């Protein structure tokens, strides 16, 4: 989204992220994009009517709410993988756990992870030092903090990778 007024922070963030997006592939420095969304969980209140020859299946639009879930999506376009982590909440602790999983499982051999993410309040190094984390294994994990390079999209800046790949979240 373009900011409402000329903005040097917008230009700087755009140039930074575009430079990252146009880098050559280097498995030692994988590019990983992270975004999240919440989804309402719903249940059907009436059974669908099965299709018959000449008549499509029929579904009632009435539904029952079954809470919400948070989806963290990790996407490594140059590595050719994506991962969606489903959590009950969307907190700094959940974010830290997702980053630990990224470092331990998906990018265990990387020298540095180049992480592109938005400027949400929990997307910062401070989230890795939350006092509610179980032990301090996450914040002190060698790959989680020291080997991660943050790249942020500014508010109203840089068309996000989710704009292109947002369809990954659309499933029923």
Instruction: Encode pLDDT of 1-29 as tens digits.
Output: 566 676 787 778 778 888 888 889 999 98
pLDDT at position 50, please?
Answer: 94
pLDDT at position 149, please?
Answer: 52
Tell me, yes or no, whether 45 lies in a domain: no
| pTM reported for the whole predicted model | 0.68
> What is the domain-level CATH number for residue 19?
3.30.420
Show the tokens assigned to 131: 């006092």
Q: What is the DSSP letter of 81?
A: E
Tell me, yes or no, whether 36 lies in a domain: yes
Tell me, yes or no, whether 103 lies in a domain: yes
Q: Model confidence at 45, in pLDDT bands (50, 70, 90)?
A: very high
Tell me, yes or no, whether 58 lies in a domain: no
Q: What is the mean pLDDT of residues 73-80?
A: 93
Domain extent at residue 34: 8-40+67-169
Nearest to 124 by CA among 150, 154, 162: 150
Nearest to 47 by CA among 60, 64, 29, 37: 60
Distance CA 22, CA 78 (A): 10
pLDDT at position 128, please?
Answer: 64
Q: Which residue has the tokens 């907190």?
A: 91
73: pLDDT strictly greater than 70: yes
CB of 17 closer than 8 Å to CB of 161 = no
Tell me, yes or no, whether 114 lies in a domain: yes
Count: domains in the chain = 1
């Amino acid at each position: 989204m373009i900011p409402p007024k000329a903005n040097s922070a917008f230009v700087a963030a755009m140039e930074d992220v575009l430079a990252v997006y146009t880098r050559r592939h280097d498995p030692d420095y994988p590019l990983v994009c992270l975004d999240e969304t919440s989804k309402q969980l719903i249940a059907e209140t009436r059974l669908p009517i099965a299709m018959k020859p000449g008549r499509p299946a029929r579904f009632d639009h009435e539904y029952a709410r079954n809470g919400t879930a948070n989806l963290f999506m990790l996407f490594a376009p140059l590595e050719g993988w994506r991962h969606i982590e489903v959590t009950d909440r969307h907190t700094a602790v959940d974010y830290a756990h997702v980053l630990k999983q990224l470092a331990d499982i998906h990018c265990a051999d990387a020298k540095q992870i180049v992480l592109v993410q938005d400027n949400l309040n929990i997307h910062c190094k401070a989230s890795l030092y939350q006092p509610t984390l179980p032990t301090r294994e996450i914040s002190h994990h060698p790959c989680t903090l020291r080997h991660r390079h943050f790249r942020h999209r500014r508010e109203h800046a840089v068309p996000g990778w989710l704009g292109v790949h947002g369809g990954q979240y659309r499933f029923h």
